[in-house]
Structure 1
Amino acid sequence: MSTSRIIQLAQLISSQTSIIDSHLQINNLPQPSFDQNGPTEPIQNETPEIQRAKTDVIEAAIELRQLLEGPLKLLLPESNFSPLVAVHRFKIASYVPLDSIISFKVLATKCGVQEHDLKRIIRYTAIHHRVFVEPTKGVVAHTAASRLMVENPVAGHLTGLTFDECWPAHNHAVEAISQQSNRANISGYALANNTPLNTFQYLSQHKERATRFAFAMATTSKASLDALSTHFPWHTLPSNSKIVDVGGSKGHVSLHLARTYPHLRFIVQDLPEVIDGAVDQLPEDDEAVVTCKEKIEFMAHDMFDEQPVKNAEVYLLRYVLHDWGDEYCLEIIRNLIPALKTGAKIVVQDHVLPEPGTMGLLQEMQMRSMDAIMMSLFNSREREADEWEDLFKRADESFGRIIVNRIGENGSSGVISAEWLG
């Protein structure tokens, strides 16, 4: 008798979890825990083998749960994020003492909500998201997740982006789709904020939200920045080559490249409200960084205007074009063309959508989620490799061969380069 799929999945979970557990024990590393003092990085010192094992376990656990719960549950998932949004909106985590407890009654007063509402908010997030715990009836304490909301600025930026910007937009995305428009201001985000502006125009009028958005975008993993460093031959560029970082936000990408390639000079361009004070926010913790700061300048520029910096070696667009539909991307690229010298390159780091079923379950789920976020926030989309090639050829036939260098085997992103032949 052949082994059933649910047994195959259970055996895979068991075997791969054993590999992870051995890694933790041999290296004397902490076990994953929901406890507030548990590790925020659940599996530390990951090797490629451990990363594969973790992915295998998560994917198998997802499939096993879906099989056991059945098709109706797939149509009706728990999708009420209101309690988690309330935790963010009322700053509930900040009023819970670290390494101690607080009663519902006192906490409700501090948060400015009714006690019965607070109680159900916390009990929902505790059971669904492991955010807070009720160690004894009527009192609240932190978990690792809720403590993260208090202590980790990155978590604060990302929860703000998710709950204040993305969540309302998702709720209006279907209404935007029904209008069958390619315009950037016909989006779930625009409808949620009752504005005729596109997302970036709206943020430009709300500085605090724009700043938080920029910081959330700057929470890029080092691995992603390293991939940009290694998947384009920056080292072959002549000394003092100009690199124009278009839509470069607070300059975190240029800073990383300047540290790695000190022979290059960088010009970071973004809207005035985005780059305001950015030069002062670059770190000054070592001599190498001070040197890098001398290599980086900031310039207010709207990429929908003609590029003012002429004859640079590279014009970099890192996770910029996926925010825009095709007609806008064509305008952005064409606005660079008058500045291009023969041999100059436009370098894009962005997602590269896979063919369905060619990636692992978890990775493709993440990619499709990102594509849906682009739809809700910007009425834009992620693109497949041939769509990136087509975009540059449509912009101008004078672009030479378009190289789509996917990061890693079946990687979810890539570095795309297009050389201007003049």
Structure 2
Amino acid sequence: MSTSRIIQLAQLISSQTSLIDQHLQNNNLPEPSFNQDGPTEPIQNETPDIQKAKTDVIEATIELRQLLEGPMKLVLPESNFTPLVAIHRFKIASHVPLDSTISFTELATKCGLLEHDLKRIIRYTAIHHRVFFEPTKGFVAHTAASRLIAENPIAGHLMGLTFDECWPAHNHAVEAISHCSTSANISGYSIANNTGSLNTFQYLSAHKERATRFAFAMATTSKASLDALSTHFPWPELSATGGGGRSLVVDVGGSKGHVSLHLARTYPDLRFIVQDLPEVIDGAADQLLSSLAQDDAAIKDRIEFVPHDMFKEQTVKNADVYLLRYVLHDWGDEYCIDIIKNLIPALKRGARIVVQDHVLPEPGTMGLLQEMQMRSMDAIMMSLFNSREREAEEWRDLFKQADERFGNVIVNRIGENGSSGVISAEWLG
């Protein structure tokens, strides 16, 4: 007798959750918890098998819920982020004591809000997002999620990016799409902020506080992503071409230099020039120097910061690599081609343009969770920049359109069916 899909999913959830639970017990690790002292990383010391088990459980849980709730819920999901935005905007988490409770009355006074508004904000986020809970009627305490907001500055940067920049842009993205324009200043973001002729980055440049927050949010790069860049391009072979010297990497759009720093630590035979707009790299060298451990002191002599607009001709000639890490997905095709063309006058024969960026899958070739994340990122690019993520062949087409003298464009996907890749093109002109 055949087993129904909902039973198959339930059995998968049960079996894979047992593997995760056994992993936690065998390694004496804390179990996931909503309590304020619960682990920020829910499953620690993950092995590849445990990572797969966790993904299997999440995907099966999503599908099972969707099947049981039915198609009407699929087209009418819960989508009100206002209470979470309020938690962020009014810094409510910072006013809740870490190891005790506070009354709605006192908390409302501290936040400068009406008590009945505060109460419904917290009760919404508590039930929908596990942000705060009410241990005794009328009193508020932290959960793991609300404590993260209160203590972790990275969470603050990311919430600022999500709720102050992305959320208003999403609300106007459909209007932007109706213009059928490829212009960078016709986006949900530009309409939401009334930027006029300015694109998103130009607008941010004129609003330093928002630009700084945006840069910090972008700098919250996982070590795994940086390690992937280190291993999915043959940097050691490049450094061997230096003839006893150091090969030069130009980190175009390199922000505060965190990517160059990672590569410099890994490859001592490379030196780096980090390029970005003046307001972006302002103070970056001092920040980098202050972050270096004593053992890293020599690295500062191998990383230089130079202001440069990538929409103008490249000023650093004859480098070995021009690196564009998560830069091109912020721009539509015509802009990307312009960026690449501006590098060409600086290229020596054999120089490489190296791109680390997302590589969209063919539909259905990735797991549910991974493809959902990829399609979400593509939608964010549409809202913020009127840009897009690209499939492997579309990356190759960009270089072909820019100049036929680029050699074979290698798209090296990170991991089996990975969501990102390292793309490299050799200049043969």
The question of a shared fold, defined as TM-score above 0.5 by the shorter chain, is answered with yes
Q: Deviations over 1:26-72 (max 9, x none)?
A: 10000000000110000000000000000000000000000000000
Q: What residue is the counterpart of 2:296 in the other structure?
A: 289
Q: Give ranges in structure 1 of 5+ residues lacking alignment.
A: none
Q: What residue is the counterpart of 1:59 in the other structure?
A: 59
Distance in 2, matches of 1:92 and 1:274, equals 30
The match for 1:407 among 393, 402, 414 is: 414
Q: What residue is the counterpart of 2:398 in the other structure?
A: 391
Matches within 5 A, 1:324-343: 324-343=331-350
Q: Which stretches of structure 1, 4 residues or longer, exceed 4 Å deviation after superposition?
A: none
**Is this contact kept in 2: 1:259–1:288, CA < 8 A?**
no
Q: What residue is the counterpart of 1:216 in the other structure?
A: 217
Q: What residue is the counterpart of 1:183 in the other structure?
A: 183
Shift of 1:284: 4.0
SS in 1 for 2:409: strand
The match for 1:245 among 244, 251, 257 is: 251
Q: Give ranges in structure 2 of 5+ residues lacking alignment.
A: none
Matches within 5 A, 1:301-312: 301-312=308-319
Matched residues, number: 422
SS in 2 for 1:317: strand
Q: What residue is the counterpart of 2:206 in the other structure?
A: 205
SS in 2 for 1:244: strand
Distance in 1, matches of 2:367 and 2:270, equals 37
SS in 1 for 2:407: strand
The match for 1:278 among 284, 288, 301 is: 284
Identity %: 83
Q: What residue is the counterpart of 1:127 in the other structure?
A: 127
Distance in 1, matches of 2:129 and 2:359, equals 30
Q: Deviations over 1:216-273 (max 9, x none)?
A: 0000000000000000001112241110000000000000000000110000000111
Distance in 2, matches of 1:195 and 1:224, equals 33
Q: Deviations over 1:119-140 (max 9, x none)?
A: 0000000000000001110010
Shift of 1:289: 2.1
Shift of 1:150: 1.1
SS in 1 for 2:306: strand
Q: How high is the TM-score relative to the length of structure 1?
A: 0.99
Shift of 1:287: 3.0
For residues 284 and 377 of structure 1, do their structure 2 counterparts lie closer, same or farther at Cα, with a shift above 3 Å needed?
closer
Distance in 1, matches of 2:81 and 2:298, equals 45
**Is this contact kept in 2: 1:405–1:415, CA < 8 A?**
yes
Computed over aligned residues only, the root mean square deviation of the Cα atoms, in angstroms, reads 0.7
Distance in 1, matches of 2:146 and 2:294, equals 37
**Is this contact kept in 2: 1:406–1:415, CA < 8 A?**
yes
SS in 1 for 2:274: strand
Matches within 5 A, 1:149-164: 149-164=149-164
Q: What residue is the counterpart of 2:326 in the other structure?
A: 319
Distance in 2, matches of 1:47 and 1:203, equals 40
Distance in 2, matches of 1:249 and 1:39, equals 31
Q: What residue is the counterpart of 1:358 in the other structure?
A: 365
Shift of 1:311: 0.2
**Is this contact kept in 2: 1:184–1:325, CA < 8 A?**
yes
Q: How high is the TM-score relative to the length of structure 2?
A: 0.98
